[in-house]
Amino acid sequence: MLRALMLAFALAALVAQAAPSRPQTQDEIFLAAHAAARAGDYDKLAKYEAQLQGYVLEPYVESWLLRARLEDASADEVRAFLAREQASFLAEQLRKEWLKVLGKKQQWDLFRAEHPLLIGEDNDVACYALQARWQQRDESALAEVRAQWYAPRELPEGCVPLAETLVSRGQFTSREVWERIRLLLEAGAVSAAWHTAGYLPPREAPDRGQLFGVAAGPQRYLDDKKKDLSRRQTRELTMFALHRLARTDPLAAAGYWDKKLRAKFSAGEQGYVWGQLALHAARRNLPEALPWYAEAAQAPLAEEQLAWRMRASLRQGNWNEVKVTAEKMPPLQRNEPAWIYWQGRAAQALGNAAEARTLFARIAGEHHFYARLAAEELGLALDIPPKGYTPAPEDVAAIAREPGFRRALAWYRLDQRFESAREWIWSIRGMDDKQLLAAAEFARQNEMFDRAINTADKTLALHDFSVRYLAPYREALGDHARARQLEEAWVLGLVRQESRFIAAIKSSAGAAGLMQLMPATAKWVAHRMGMRDYSWARVTDTGVNAALGTYYLRHVLDDLDGNPVLAAAAYNAGPGRARKWRDARPLEGAIYAETIPFNETRDYVKKVMNNTMYYAAILGGQVRSLKARLGVIAPRGGKDKFMAQRAAEEEQAQ
C-alpha cells in the first residue's frame, strides 16, 4: 500500500512538472495575453483581461478585443475607447482600423466625422477618404487617385471604384494602365501587375501564363524567336523579360537586346529598355552603365535610375556627367545632401571654385557623413557642438509620467523592442529640442540606449552629443579594441551602428549582442581564439561579445589591406563582396562608399565612418580628417582569386 502511495505521489509530481506553468505575475499574464491575441484566441484573451486591471499595458488588451469585433461594435463603444485613450498611439491605431471598416461598409457620415481626427497617414484610409469625397460629387477626388495609381503596390481597396470610374470614362487609357503595369513589374509585384492588366481591353491584355512564366524564367521567353512583336503585350513582356534578366546579368540581357530586336520597338520603348539595362549595370558597377544611359538619353528616368547614373559617373571619374545628371534630377532629389556634396566636387573639378564653396556651405553645418566631407573641403575642423540644454530632474520626471513613455518602457522591459519603439516614436512626435533631450535622458537612465541615441539625434538647434554618441560598455569594448590594436573610436562607431549598445539584442537574421555576431561566425572565431568555455548562450555577455567581435574585426581589417572602409563593408556584407565592389583602378574611399550596391551596406559604411569621427573627437582620440580615414581603395589585384575563395568560405561560416 505504501509503495503504491509513493508511486502515486511520484506520478503526480511528474505530471506537475510536465504541465505548463500558469502565468503568475502581471508581466507574465500580459505576455500570455499578447500571444493569445496573435493566435486569435479571444476567449483566452478576455480571461487574461480580468487579471490585468491597473496594469500599465492593460489598454492594449482592451484594444485587441475591440479590434477583433470592430465590424459589429457600436460607434459609442469605439468612441468611448478613443476618448479614454485620446491622442495615444493605441487610439491612432484603432481609429485607423475603424475608418477602414467604415469605408468598407460605406458609412460615410461616420467616416467623415472621424477622419479629420486621424493624425498619421495610411494609404487604405486615404483611398476611402477620396471615395467619401467622390460620394459628395467632389470630382477633384478622382484626380488625386493618380498618386495611388502610380505607386508600385497593390491598389488599396478604397481606390478600386475610383480607378474603375477613370477607366470607364477614358481618363485612364491603355497607356496609363501599361505605365502602372511596368512600375509593378519593376518592383517585382507580378500579381498586382496581373490584377492591373484586368483594366485593359481583352485583346490587349497579356497572357497570364506568359506573364508569370517570364517572371520565373526570362531567358526562355527571350529565346522564343516566334513571338509576334507587332502586338504591344508581346513587346511589354519582352521588355519585362529583359528587365528581369538584367537584375542578375545585365550583360546577358544586353546580348539579347541586339539591333535586330531593337528595330521592332518604338523609340520610347527602346529608351525604356536602355534605362533598365543602365540601372542594373550601374548597380553592379559595370563600365557599360554610362554608355547605356547615353542610349536612354530621351527616356524619362526615375529617381533611382538618376541616382545610379550619378554613382556610375562618380565611379568613372566623369565630373561633367555628374553635373549633367544632377541637372536632370527633380529639385527635391537634387537637394539631398549626398548630391549637393557631389555637385560641389564636380564644380570644383570643372574649375568653378565659387560654386563649389557655395554648395559645400549649404550642408557643412550639419552632422552627417557628407556634411563632414563638405566642411573639410571648406577647411573647417570638426567641433563638437556645446551642450545646449541639460534637462532638470523635473523635466525627466514629466516624461516619466506620460502614458506613452511608460508603455514604451514597459514593452522594453518585456524585451518587446518593436512595440516599445512604436510607442516611443509616437510619443516624441512634435517635440521641441528641450523635450527631446529630456526624453533622451529618461531613456538613458532606463538603459534604453537605442531610444536615447535616436532621440538625441533628432534635435535641430540644442544638442547633447554625449547622449547622441553614448558609449556604454566602453571599458569592455575599449580593452578588447586596444588588445587587438583597433582604434577604439572606430569600434564604438561600428557598435553604435550595429546594436545601439543593446547588449542582449538579437536580429531577425540571428545575429546577437553588441557586435551582432552570427552563430557560425562566433563559433569560428571562438575556435580560432582557443576560447575553451565558449557556448552560443554566452554571446550576449558583453565581455564575450566584445572579445569575439573585435577579434573578427581585426581579422577582416588585416585581410582587407588595413582599410577601415573595406572592413566596415565586409563586416556588414561579407569580405568577398567588399573586395568585389572595388574597381580595376584606385578609387577614392568616398566614391567606393557611395557606389556600394547594397542600400543597407552603403548607409552602414557611411554612418560607421561618420560615427568614428565623432567618437574620436569626444574621446580625445587621434585627429584625422574623414577624407584621410576613407583613404584610397586599392584596385582589384592578382591575389583576389585566392582571397575571394577564402572569403567565400568565411561567408558560408556566417
Residues that are catalytic: 498
Q: C-alpha cell of 312? A: 556610375
How far is CA 281 from each of CA 243, 308, 311, rounded to the nearest angstrom?
A: 11, 9, 11
Q: How far is CA 560 from the centre of its chain?
A: 27
According to DSSP, residue 158 is labeled G
Q: 512 by DSSP, 3-state: which? A: strand
C-alpha angle with apex 410: 404 to 411, nearest 5 degrees?
Answer: 90
| E strands in 161-248 | none
The CB density around residue 319, as the number of other CB atoms within 10 Å, is: 18
DSSP string, 115-153: GGG--S--HHHHHHHHHHHHHTT-THHHHHHHHHHTSSS
The three-class DSSP label of residue 500 is: coil
Q: Phi and psi dihedrals of 288, rounded to 5?
A: -70, -15
What's the CA gap between 159 and 141, in Å, rounded? Answer: 10
Q: CA of 435: how far to CAs of 47, 399, 427, 500, 633, in Å?
A: 39, 8, 11, 21, 43
Distance CA 95, CA 266 (A): 49
Contact between 43 and 24 under an 8 Å Cβ cutoff? The reply is no
Do the Cβ atoms of 584 and 636 come closer than 8 Å?
yes
Quick one: which of 498, 452, 492 has its CA closest to 612? 492
CA 557/CA 599 separation, integer angstroms: 22
Q: Nearest-CA neighbor of 514 among 450, 465, 458, 455?
A: 450
User: Radius of gyration of the chain from Cα atoms?
Assistant: 29
Backbone dihedral region of 415: left (phi > 0), alpha (psi from -120 to 50 degrees) or beta? Answer: left
Q: Which three cell numbers stand for residue 217?
A: 524564367
Kindly state the helix (H) or strand (E) to which residue 515 belongs, with its residue range.
none
- How many residues are given for the chain? 654
